[in-house]
Structure 1
Amino acid sequence: MSDLTQIVILTLIAGLAMPIGASLAAVERISPRWLETEVRHGVVAFGGGALLSAVALVLVPKGVSDLSPLLVAACFAGGGGLFMVLDIRLAANKTPFSQLTAMLSDFVPEALALGATFTVSAEAGLLLAGIIALQNLPEGFNAFREITASTGFSRRQIVGAFTLMAGLGPIAGVTGYFVLSGYPQIVSGIMLFAAGGILYIVFEDIAPQSRLKNHWAPPLGAVAGFLLGVLGHMAVGA
């Protein structure tokens, strides 16, 4: 199987974790009610932990490797600033899509990196695809919950939209393989820009949603999500 075929398949599978997570959120019913609430907050925290692991273990380490400190600061701060402006606009229009924004801003840069990585190591690209898929699953779950709570879109419409979004993975992966593999500085800048935006979203929107009064288990979801990223990072390093 050629590298190009593997990139398309792997990024598509990683992207399809988004509608799979959304589908799980659509059918999830747990009794008693308090347990369902705690599980929901735990999944939100898990997604936040997974996003933090993506920033700390994938986006930032790979991003700083090819850029000067000045460019690192500009890209990272620029991402945080732009996502703040986006968050303000969404709040003004009463359309909170923080989870969806975080999911896509994580998925697309990592898919770009996956395509570029395949030019060096197919094994590392395979493991990176697995990490992306495991991150997208809880993120799809949380984004579905957020959209259903704040919009009139049906479950079928949301899952269908997430399925279409999975197509961004192969597009980004192939772009990284053919176009950006020769420009590591551009890939690094994109990853750092996304990292700054994700960090803003996690602490502005996702982390506050994970807290549940008089319940202490949901924060363990953040620990578990970050641990997932650590183990994946160790596997890639191995």
Structure 2
Amino acid sequence: MLLLEILLLTLFAGLSMPLGALIARVERIRPRWLEHEFRHSVIAFGGGALLSAVALVLVPDGIEHLSTQAVLYWFLLGGLTFMLIDVLLNLFKTSASQLIAMLSDFIPESIALGATFALGGSNGLLLALLIGLQNLPEGFNAFRELRHSSHYSANRIIITFALMALLGPIAGVIGYVWLSAYPSVVAAIMLFAAGGILYSVFQDIAPQAKLTRHWGPPMGAVFGFASGIVGHMLTT
């Protein structure tokens, strides 16, 4: 029964990616300035949700099973690894940087979710909620990036995102079945993901969210983090 719950939670969290892509496909807001502000607010909302995952789940749970030195090692390694991925994406001029960043968050978080349930932790449901919240704007942004910089059709991108959602249940089962006996490994994965997410927020998301003489996008980040706080209070 618990395994079925993990499968469903990770699947629904992953399906936020194609849902975000669908919203990006049909989104047409007038006047033009409001459409522009909405898109930046969506980006900022995703940044707020990512920060809440780091602050409320990944770091608090990760530091419980590791020494201070190990915590610093895995956290900084996550940031450095995401930086290296960013450098390589820029070097090869790929059109899928947002897509790769989205999967880089989604897969380790899904592994951590499965292992959290196996270890009897209370944050599994909250982590699933936060994954879904962050995947929605990430799917939105990744769709727009691929649509504008590649030859892929809208339907093909959305179907691809839907298929990628299946990686969530696979990662969740791996965490539940194989990693639950190794809480220190799960903690390392959480901290690695937290470091990478923090790098992504300040490297990619925060700069994209800013608009001159517009104040909606920063509030999008506040709402994103607030959603994480509500989820934390409702599930703990």
**TM-score bracket, shorter-length normalisation:** over 0.9
Is 1:234 aligned to 2:233, yes or no? Answer: yes
Q: Distance in 1 between matches of 2:151 and 2:210?
A: 25
The 2-side partners of 1:85 and 1:123 are apart by: 33
Query: What is the CA-CA distance between 1:146 and the residue it aligns to?
Result: 2.3
- 2:80 is paired with a residue of what secondary structure? helix
Asked if structure 1 preserves the Cα contact closer than 8 Å seen for 2:9 and 2:128, the reply is yes
Task: Indicate the larger mover: 215-224 or 142-151.
Answer: 142-151
1:179 corresponds to which residue?
Answer: 178
* Equivalent in the alignment of 2:135: 136
Q: Shift of residue 67 of structure 1?
A: 0.6
Write out aligned runs for 1:108-123 (5 A): 108-121=107-120
1:182-229 CA-partner distances (Å, limit 9, x unpaired): 101111111111111111111111111001122111111011111111
- Taking the aligned partners of 2:31 and 2:84, their CA distance within structure 1 comes to 40
**Contact (CA 8 Å) 2:7, 2:169: kept in 1 or not?**
yes
Distance between the aligned counterparts of 2:75 and 2:20, measured in 1? 29
Q: Compute the RMSD of aligned alpha carbons.
A: 1.7
Instruction: Give % identity.
Output: 61
User: How far off its partner does 1:78 sit?
Assistant: 0.8
Superposition deviation, residue 138 in structure 1: 1.7
Greater shift after overlay, 46-55 or 87-96?
87-96
- Residue 124 of structure 1: how far off its partner (Å): 4.6
Instruction: Give the CA deviation at 1:102.
Output: 3.2
| 1:180 counterpart SS class | coil
Runs of 4+ in 1 over 6 A off after TM superposition: none
CA offset at residue 123 of structure 1? Answer: 6.7
8 Å Cα contact 1:54-1:106 kept in structure 2: no
Contact 1:128 1:236 in 2 (8 A): no
Corresponding residue number in structure 2 for 1:155: 154
TM-score, scaled relative to structure 1: 0.93
Matched, 1:22 2:21: yes
Deviation at 1:94, TM superposition (A): 1.6
Q: Which runs of 5+ in 1 are unaligned?
A: none
2:178 match: secondary structure: helix
Aligned twin of 1:84: 83
Residue 211 of structure 2 aligns to a residue whose secondary structure is coil
1:207 aligns with 2:206: yes
Once the two structures are superposed, what CA deviation does each residue of 1:13-63 show, in whole Å capped at 9, x if it has no partner? Answer: 111111011111111111111111010010011111111111111111111
Q: Are 2:49 and 2:227, in contact at CA under 8 Å, matched by a contact in 1?
A: yes
Contact 1:3 1:122 in 2 (8 A): no
Q: Are the aligned partners of 1:41 and 1:212 in contact in 2 as well (CA < 8 Å)?
A: yes
Contact 2:45 2:223 in 1 (8 A): yes
Instruction: Give the letter aligned to residue 177 of structure 2.
Output: F
Q: How much does 1:98 deviate?
A: 4.0
How far is the alpha carbon of 1:96 from its aligned partner? 5.1
Q: Which runs of 5+ in 2 are unaligned?
A: none
Structure 2 counterpart of 1:162, which letter? F
User: How far did residue 99 of structure 1 move?
Assistant: 3.0
Cα 1:159–1:193 change in 2 (3 A) is same
Query: Counterparts of 2:177 and 2:27 in 1: how far apart (Å)?
Result: 40
